[in-house]
């Protein structure tokens, strides 16, 4: 039996820092986490599309969510291939028939790229991207909480990423308090 290709081994789940972990050096950006079914898309080769919805591979129309993901992918196939080729994969969230891309993974360097490179690669493909807010360098957790609280409404779950050298070096989740 031939080996089965697994996108999860190519595009891993992002690692999150503990709340009490020290902040790393770099520029911080924040993004409210969209709520929906997670999707993963990768081109193992120029003729094969690997799409996952949640933890299962989508190969046929077996329900409304799978149909929406397949249609979204098919409508953007040439532009997605030009943006990703076989060097990158994306992670996103399916929300009411549309996909919001939250991450771009560089397969060859085994890293998630920063929001600037994500926009640079995917904006020409006319893909909806997560809404990032630039926070700048942050020294303490109290300063981080204060900046996030100034931007987002209480109760919002926010992902804060520290980026350096065109890649994400750390990330953590915060729920905005009062």
pLDDT digits 0-9 by tens, 53-106:
998 999 999 999 999 999 999 999 999 999 999 899 999 999 988 999 999 999
Q: Is the pLDDT of residue 46 over 90?
A: no
Q: Give me the pLDDT at residue 10, please.
A: 64
**Contact yes or no for 132/123 (Cβ under 8 A):** no
Q: Give me the pLDDT at residue 19, please.
A: 85
* Assessment of whether the complete model's pTM goes beyond 0.85: yes
| Total domains in the fold of the chain | 2
Q: Give me the pLDDT at residue 3, please.
A: 38
101 and 84 co-located in one domain: yes
Rounded CA separation 77/60 (Å): 16
Q: Is the pLDDT of residue 129 over 80?
A: yes
Q: Give me the pLDDT at residue 103, please.
A: 96
Q: What is the CATH number of the domain that holds 104?
A: 3.30.470.30
For 4-21, the DSSP string reads PP-HHHHSPPPP---TTS
Cα dihedral 99, 110, 10, 62 in deg (nearest 10):
0
pLDDT digits (tens, 9 = 90+) for 3-18: 344 544 468 889 999 9
155 and 112 co-located in one domain: no
Mean pLDDT computed over 152-169: 94
Rounded CA separation 176/90 (Å): 27
Q: Is the pLDDT of residue 32 over 70?
A: yes
146 lies in which domain range?
15-34+132-178
- Is 5 a domain residue? no
138 and 86 co-located in one domain: no
Q: Give me the pLDDT at residue 45, please.
A: 84
40 and 20 co-located in one domain: no
- Is 62 a domain residue? yes
Q: Give me the pLDDT at residue 47, please.
A: 81
**CB neighbourhood size of 63 (10 A):** 10
150 and 81 co-located in one domain: no
């Amino acid at each position: 039996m031939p080996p089965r290709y697994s996108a999860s081994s190519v595009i891993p789940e992002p690692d999150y820092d503990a709340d009490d972990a020290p902040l790393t050096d770099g520029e911080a950006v924040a993004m409210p986490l969209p709520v929906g079914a997670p999707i993963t898309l990768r081109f193992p080769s120029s003729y094969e599309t690997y799409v996952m919805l949640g933890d299962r591979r989508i190969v046929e129309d077996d329900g409304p969510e799978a149909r929406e993901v397949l249609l979204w992918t098919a409508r953007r196939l040439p532009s997605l291939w030009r943006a990703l080729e076989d060097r990158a994969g994306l992670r996103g969230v399916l929300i009411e028939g549309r996909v919001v891309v939250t991450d771009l993974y560089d397969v060859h360097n085994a890293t998630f790229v920063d929001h600037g490179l994500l926009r640079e690669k995917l904006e020409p493909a006319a893909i909806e991207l997560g809404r990032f807010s630039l926070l700048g360098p942050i020294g303490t957790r109290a300063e981080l909480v204060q900046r996030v609280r100034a931007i987002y409404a209480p109760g919002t779950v926010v992902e804060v990423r520290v980026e350096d050298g065109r890649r994400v070096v750390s990330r953590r989740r915060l729920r905005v308090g009062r």
